Structure 1
Amino acid sequence: MLNAWRRSARSHEVLMYLIIIIAVVTSCHAWSPDNSQKVINEISKLRTIKFAGNATYPDHFIILNQDAHSILLGGRNHIYNLSVYDFSEIKDSRIEWQSSEAISEMCSVKGKSEDDCQNYIRIYVETEPGQHLICGTNSYKPCCRHYAHVNGKYTVVKEVEGIGVCPYNPEHNSTAVYSKGQMYSATVADFSGGDPLIYRQPQRTEYSDLKQLNAPNFVSSVPYGDFIFFFFRETAVEYINCGKVIYSRVARVCKDDKGGPHQFRNGWTTFLKTRLNCSVPGEYPFYFDEIQSTSEIIEGKYGTDLSSHIIYGILTTPSNAIGGSAICAYNMNDVLESFEGSFKHQDSINANWLPVSKDKVPEPRPGQCVRDSRLLQENHVNFIKTHPLMENAVPAMFGKPLLIRVNFHYRLTAVVVDSQVKTVNDEVFDVLYVGTDNGRVLKVVNIPTVNETAKTVVISENVILPNGAAVKQLKIAPGFGSVVVVGRDEVRLAKLNHCSAQRNCRECVHLQDPHCAWNTRLETCISLDEVRHNTKRDLIQDILRGDESKCRSPQDTRKMSPKIIVPNDIDNDIGSEIEEDDDDDSQDDPSVGEECEDSDDGNNINCAVKQKLVIYTAETLQISVIVAAVVSLLLGFIVGYIFSRRFHPPSQYPDTPFIEQRNHLEGLSGTQSNFLSRPKTINHVINSLPPPPKKDNLDASKDHNIANDGTLQKIKKTYI
């Protein structure tokens, strides 16, 4: 019985393993994230120029402004003016701004450290030619200054309070944009960081209104059309009855919003927000809910002849979940359309959020830009104050992420785009540089297809910042492959152009880098920013497929050295693999056939048998490896189980628990009449020899197993 129970348990265990294996294989086939890259570079293999600021204390660097020749870098008590070409500092243009001694002492009294009680510059805008607005944390008392730039030097014109414009803490996620003579900011407005707001003097979001902002982390802000758009992540108020979850948002306000009538004069009359959808499609979509960074708005062609305005975003899983990141692109037309749908509404605190019917929406439609918002009806302004959330989420382009990274070592943090790079065939592609939280930068190309499906190729993964420092910000520098990488305490100018490292045409074309092409005349892989227009006829490039068969010219084939397999019956002196020149047209070359036919001994020792190279996709190889591992696991388990059953020696005392129980019961019975007693089996093998013959019945060896009732004594008397 016990053996049957054990066999049943083993059967259930085997069934459970099979179910788990099938689930793993199915999930891997349904969603196979791309963790491949064509080039991996450590920091020692890259050309970088480092700028370390004061090199002693934390700087919390941020790029404030960039033009064709210089970069303004905000740091601790300074703004550095760096050449965009070689990172040399123009020290005459350095701006120094330290907090006053009284403000620093007050900051220390409030419990902040010496590093906190410094002035970290966060905002720089040119308000008009020669006039600049600069804002800093100013030892937890934000302040702004107006500077005049005269004769190459900056002089202070006036100083104003910066609360609501600049953050208190340099690590606070804040953003600001200057448009039409107004500063729009998204930050916190108190010392503790508990009052988030979207602000343009005097308009701001409502204080402590969770429907408008619920513990947001602001990412970026961009002007587009009549609106200013803000991208951020926040705790989802519509999900609060089911727990706590963070959603990615995009919000907008009209540039001409002048506030509402009467008590609404300092509030927004056009503030709306909606969710950004970045998910793997399916019956149960897998969401990347936390936005980390966005690019600027880019104009280009993506799969169609029509020009589109898109914005790239980096979104991740929560910090306490499996490390996953995704790149999603959003069409600005889809963003605008999402604000034209239904509004969300909650009847009571425990009710579900449902769309508002059209007959309950006032006219003109809330959220639209009007000539003078101060003339709106109060019920109109009150409606948009209580219904800022839209029903429809903004869908990702192509219906899914462009790239997914599932990695235990890093998450994606920042993105910048070298937009619409023109190739040899006059095609255009976006080259993305994506930062990680462990100091790496990925170079990715977005390849939209004719049927408008997403396809990206990770060209390289490069370690830029040492010691695993997070990449905070990225900017494009002049020259193909040049990118500025910003960490907390250092900034590097890196050259991520891998053209010269490709040894032959095949490697150059297979890289699928819009920056690189194979020059058939010079027989080298060159960068396209070094090419004149009239020399493009000598260039080979294939970004869509990376088709190496385009390398057909004799000059290219002499430089390629693939491995050629030799048959097994060839003498060992030849070897199993030899190196020869690769010629895709060898079947048409008569010299190859003549060499084989002129062999004297009939053996094709001198003939190289060329085998066509078959290239599999990363997904196919991944699935093949998983299936092989699963099959090996199953075979090993079955073989081990069979051997354990056949060659395992039987136990000398089977069913030990039952034997111990039986002996215990016999000891308790005391008599043979008990129905639980069993005759004990005694091993008589040792005493198997017959006893010696006895002289009479009184011999000592006589069986004494006679009842002790005097019977033996009676027999003795009768015999005598």
Structure 2
Amino acid sequence: MALPSPGQDPWSLLGGFLFLLLSLPPATGTGGQGPMPRVKYHAGDGHRALSFFHQKGLLDFDTLLLSADGNTLYVGAREAVLALNIQSPGIPQLRNMIPWPASERKKNDCAFKKKSSETQCFNFIRVLVSFNTTHLYACGTFAYSPACAFIELQDSHLLPILKDNVMDGKGQSPFDPAHKHTAVLVDGMLYSGTMNNFLGSEPILMRTLGSQPVLKTDIFLRWLHPDASFVAAIPSTQVVYFFFEETASEFDFFEELYISRVARVCKNDVGGEKLLQKKWTTFLKAQLLCTQPGQLPFNIIRHAVLLPADYSSVSRIYAVFTSQWQVGGTRSSAVCAFSLTDIERVFKGKFKELNKETSRWTTYRGPEANPRPGSCSTGPSSDKALTFMKDHFLMDEHVVARPLLVKSGVEYTQLAVELAQGLNGSSHVVMYLGTSTGSLHKAVVPEKSSAYLVEEIQLSPEPEPVRNLQLAPTQGAVFAGFSGGIWKVPRANCRVYESCVDCVLARDPHCAWDPKSGICSLLSGASPSTWRQDMEQGNPEGACAPDPMPRSPRLQSHLQLIKEVLVVPNSILELPCPHLSALASYYWSHDRAPIPEASSTIYNGSLLLLPQDGVGGLYQCVATENGYSYPVVSYWVDSQDQSLALDPELAGVPRERVEVPLTRVGGGASMAAQRSYWPHFLIVTVLLAIVLLGVLTLLLASPLGALRARGKVQGCGTLPPREKAPLSRERHLQPSKDYRTSASDVDADNNHLGTEVA
């Protein structure tokens, strides 16, 4: 960058030093690989209005249930169950709350067993399902003594739980609140996957309630590894699928290998008569494989949901995965979609069997009985088939899918999926992904291209995982459960896109540009066809071409407003450029030409100008995204001494007088805002002095070393008469000492009900 000549103005030298300092690139962190969110909202950002519900004295809002009419959200928290009215916009309103604490005797027993009386010995609600129109069914840890109860409803209000109605919940709720679990109610029967003992070493798949007999997995047959961790239960037509991860037993690996599984049980299973009494006779499991070619697999499943089939596709199960290996020091996450057709095909394939001599799992190639073992046949299974099922519960093939979305540096914990209909009637898969640091990602999966992230919203001010996600389609919102409350997140933020270009480039299926009102609006079923949207290409050139706003052919972009700025002598003028998209590249232009380097520089996206001749005119910050360039902001810079004539092409564009930040470097007019760069100047001066001193020391050290060497050659370095020169270098050296260093690892909520955070 060329510096201003100091001969005419003594302040030009200072300005040049400041520009040299500010033109140094700021330190930036390396972002994770994968799609970048186009827009990011930090916690408390006013551009993304959210609603936060909390209740004094309550924690751990872990379990969420949406009512059948979509107007009430039932919440299972620590020792309480809540009913929230979510019909009205804004903060959810508390209908009523019923306490359900563990008894004092149970809490004392829990503490006696060396569990924490401050964090563990409580009743954490883990199961909350709708049993019928008049009752809910809930289960909790109950201070490491699981319990369940029916909760009666009266006009969406919860009636208190009577102590006599509390039942044993072993096998339905975990003992430890930290253990993963899952449960689903199908045809009046509860299918649950959890830990069945106090130590957390006995995983179980169990069916309770209803008219069918109680069934569970056989712990002695080792159908499940002791560390199995369940994340989802999804019913289908004849079966119920369980998704979990466990240590693999069929692979020889140098370390413990975790793999993801899908298990299946039939709804009409009644257990065996002689063999496998009160046990599943249709239990089968297969490996889920979410991987991309040439990469390590994503082998740990975190959550899974079902997206039902629409008129043109099959039902798919969307699941989020992480990997037990860290590549580049960071963990990665992926989203895979498995079709129910592929899962059913694998369960109809070949079995694996364990060779007891070699302790290896191989493909079973023997004859198959009829009816097929493990099938959902109506008749009772024979003893031969049940004997076969004891040892042949693992399928030979894998259920394989390629990732739809891969993101490194992020751990996804929860997932919600829906279909959103675009303006042209096409459907788009929209995923809401909760992270381990309290963020929410909104992703879109097009049919013919890769997935992309519309936005990232930081919900929790402090890093903590999203514990649950509940999508409320009728309310147009997503509810996220945290330790201290529930965030209500509108699923679209269309109004933040202030132009047709920005609205189209966002490629949000819920948003479209209304040319009549000039607003990016939320799509509904009655949206007119004149609105603008391009979900396939995201090209504003075609979608926004007939825009009624004035357009200059030379500018080749929409100019909706020009901000007039007045130059103040002896100051540095700062022209901010809002970065509306993280996917765009930005550059500045002066009268549609490159900016002059002698009187300007760019720092953190803002343009800094020195008050010199020829700095006036039109300055534009231009963004280029998806091959399309458009001005983000336009400034008309004018001088107090001599005002410039307005460009005739800009005559029809609205103008607004604004004040921008100034940095005063001499006498002159008052400043709109001051910014001191003296600390930076002093730091650079000190660093420069240190560098010069080091260079000078090196230059002086070289001649002194040469003089010493020359003196030794002339005889100054001879040894005394009795002293002999060392025969070898090793003999002359002193033994080194072993130094060791040690380092130590350094690593209330009194608000009223409902606080709206903007």
**Is the alpha carbon distance of 1:213 and 1:266 closer, same or farther for their aligned partners in structure 2, counting shifts above 3 Å?**
farther
Specify the alignment match of 1:41 in structure 2: 41
Specify the alignment match of 1:96 in structure 2: 99
Partners of 1:446 and 1:457 within 8 A in 2: yes
Out of 538, 543, 546, which is 2:535 matched to? 543
Specify the alignment match of 2:583 in structure 1: none
Partners of 1:413 and 1:472 within 8 A in 2: yes
Work out whether 1:141 is the aligned partner of 2:140: no
Specify the alignment match of 1:171 in structure 2: 178
**Is the alpha carbon distance of 1:649 and 1:207 closer, same or farther for their aligned partners in structure 2, counting shifts above 3 Å?**
same
SS of the residue corresponding to residue 385 of structure 1 reads helix
SS of the residue corresponding to residue 244 of structure 1 reads coil
Specify the alignment match of 1:678 in structure 2: none
Query: Cα offset for 1:240?
Result: 4.6
- Aligned pairs for 1:475-624 within 5 A: 475-478=470-473, 482-529=477-524, 532-533=526-527, 536-549=528-541, 550-556=543-549, 558=551, 559-560=558-559, 566-567=592-593, 573=614, 578-579=619-620
Query: Cα offset for 1:60?
Result: 4.8
Aligned equivalents of 1:524, 1:471: Cα separation in 2: 32
Work out whether 1:125 is the aligned partner of 2:136: no
Partners of 1:143 and 1:161 within 8 A in 2: yes
Cα deviation, 1:303-325, whole Å, max 9, x if unaligned, reads xxx32101111100127663100
Query: Cα offset for 1:569?
Result: 11
Query: Cα offset for 1:33?
Result: 3.8
Out of 308, 317, 324, which is 2:314 matched to? 308
Q: Cα RMSD between the aligned structures?
A: 3.8
Partners of 2:63 and 2:127 within 8 A in 1: no
Partners of 1:214 and 1:236 within 8 A in 2: no
Specify the alignment match of 2:205 in structure 1: 198
Specify the alignment match of 2:376 in structure 1: 369
Partners of 2:275 and 2:386 within 8 A in 1: no
Specify the alignment match of 2:71 in structure 1: 69
Q: Report the more deviating stretch, 460-469 or 380-389.
A: 380-389
Partners of 2:505 and 2:538 within 8 A in 1: yes
SS of the residue corresponding to residue 501 of structure 2 reads helix
Aligned equivalents of 2:338, 2:109: Cα separation in 1: 45
Query: Cα offset for 1:432?
Result: 1.0
Aligned equivalents of 1:491, 1:153: Cα separation in 2: 19
**Is the alpha carbon distance of 1:500 and 1:148 closer, same or farther for their aligned partners in structure 2, counting shifts above 3 Å?**
closer
Aligned equivalents of 1:66, 1:479: Cα separation in 2: 11
Aligned equivalents of 1:518, 1:526: Cα separation in 2: 6
Partners of 1:509 and 1:542 within 8 A in 2: yes
SS of the residue corresponding to residue 113 of structure 1 reads coil
Cα deviation, 1:567-609, whole Å, max 9, x if unaligned, reads 4699972669634999xxxxxxxxxxxxxxxxxxxxxx97999
Aligned equivalents of 1:290, 1:224: Cα separation in 2: 23
Cα deviation, 1:112-136, whole Å, max 9, x if unaligned, reads 2224222222223333342332222
Cα deviation, 1:166-212, whole Å, max 9, x if unaligned, reads 11122210111111221111001111111110011431111154443
Q: Report the more deviating stretch, 70-79 or 572-581.
A: 572-581
Aligned equivalents of 2:521, 2:466: Cα separation in 1: 29
Cα deviation, 1:506-558, whole Å, max 9, x if unaligned, reads 110000000111111111211113x734xx22201011111111211242565
Q: Give the structure-2-normalised TM-score.
A: 0.67
Partners of 1:435 and 1:471 within 8 A in 2: yes
Q: Report the more deviating stretch, 104-113 or 385-394.
A: 104-113
Aligned equivalents of 1:346, 1:176: Cα separation in 2: 30
Aligned equivalents of 2:398, 2:458: Cα separation in 1: 36
Q: Report the more deviating stretch, 255-264 or 512-521.
A: 255-264
Specify the alignment match of 2:729 in structure 1: none
Partners of 1:504 and 1:560 within 8 A in 2: no
Q: Give the structure-1-normalised TM-score.
A: 0.70
Q: Report the more deviating stretch, 58-67 or 179-188.
A: 58-67
Partners of 1:325 and 1:411 within 8 A in 2: yes
Query: Cα offset for 1:470?
Result: 0.9
Partners of 1:74 and 1:122 within 8 A in 2: yes
**Is the alpha carbon distance of 1:350 and 1:135 closer, same or farther for their aligned partners in structure 2, counting shifts above 3 Å?**
same
Partners of 1:252 and 1:271 within 8 A in 2: yes
Specify the alignment match of 2:241 in structure 1: 229
**Is the alpha carbon distance of 1:543 and 1:42 closer, same or farther for their aligned partners in structure 2, counting shifts above 3 Å?**
same
Partners of 2:215 and 2:270 within 8 A in 1: yes
Aligned equivalents of 1:669, 1:69: Cα separation in 2: 99
- Aligned pairs for 1:653-668 within 5 A: none
Work out whether 1:108 is the aligned partner of 2:111: yes
Out of 275, 287, 298, which is 2:297 matched to? 287
Aligned equivalents of 2:195, 2:547: Cα separation in 1: 65
**Is the alpha carbon distance of 1:569 and 1:110 closer, same or farther for their aligned partners in structure 2, counting shifts above 3 Å?**
closer
Aligned equivalents of 1:468, 1:496: Cα separation in 2: 22
Larger radius of gyration: 1
**Is the alpha carbon distance of 1:181 and 1:478 closer, same or farther for their aligned partners in structure 2, counting shifts above 3 Å?**
closer
Aligned equivalents of 2:127, 2:272: Cα separation in 1: 29
Partners of 1:311 and 1:332 within 8 A in 2: yes
Aligned equivalents of 2:139, 2:595: Cα separation in 1: 78
Letter in 1 for 2:355: D
Specify the alignment match of 1:348 in structure 2: 356
Specify the alignment match of 1:385 in structure 2: 390
Partners of 1:342 and 1:392 within 8 A in 2: yes
Partners of 1:211 and 1:237 within 8 A in 2: no
Aligned equivalents of 2:424, 2:251: Cα separation in 1: 49
Cα deviation, 1:80-125, whole Å, max 9, x if unaligned, reads 0011245444444x22222222222222222222242222222233
Partners of 1:61 and 1:490 within 8 A in 2: no
Specify the alignment match of 1:701 in structure 2: none
The runs of 5 or more residues in structure 1 that have no matched partner are 1-27, 583-604, 610-647, 655-662, 671-720
Specify the alignment match of 2:638 in structure 1: none
Specify the alignment match of 1:443 in structure 2: 442
Report which of the two has the higher share of helix.
1
Cα deviation, 1:615-660, whole Å, max 9, x if unaligned, reads xxxxxxxxxxxxxxxxxxxxxxxxxxxxxxxxx9899699xxxxxx
**Is the alpha carbon distance of 1:208 and 1:242 closer, same or farther for their aligned partners in structure 2, counting shifts above 3 Å?**
farther
Cα deviation, 1:659-679, whole Å, max 9, x if unaligned, reads xxxx99x99999xxxxxxxxx
Query: Cα offset for 1:143?
Result: 1.2
Specify the alignment match of 2:567 in structure 1: none
Specify the alignment match of 2:187 in structure 1: 180
SS of the residue corresponding to residue 529 of structure 2 reads helix
- Aligned pairs for 1:668-687 within 5 A: none
Partners of 1:60 and 1:170 within 8 A in 2: no
Query: Cα offset for 1:268?
Result: 1.1
Aligned equivalents of 1:526, 1:44: Cα separation in 2: 23
Query: Cα offset for 1:153?
Result: 5.4
Aligned equivalents of 1:480, 1:98: Cα separation in 2: 32
Work out whether 1:247 is the aligned partner of 2:259: yes
**Is the alpha carbon distance of 1:649 and 1:271 closer, same or farther for their aligned partners in structure 2, counting shifts above 3 Å?**
same
Cα deviation, 1:359-378, whole Å, max 9, x if unaligned, reads 34333222210113xx3222
**Is the alpha carbon distance of 1:352 and 1:667 closer, same or farther for their aligned partners in structure 2, counting shifts above 3 Å?**
farther
Aligned equivalents of 2:445, 2:36: Cα separation in 1: 15
Partners of 1:338 and 1:393 within 8 A in 2: yes
Partners of 1:480 and 1:527 within 8 A in 2: no
Higher relative CO (Cα under 8 Å, sequence separation at least 6) belongs to 2
Partners of 2:203 and 2:224 within 8 A in 1: no
**Is the alpha carbon distance of 1:457 and 1:376 closer, same or farther for their aligned partners in structure 2, counting shifts above 3 Å?**
same
Specify the alignment match of 2:228 in structure 1: 216
Aligned equivalents of 1:394, 1:217: Cα separation in 2: 19
Aligned equivalents of 1:38, 1:293: Cα separation in 2: 25
Q: Percent identity?
A: 26
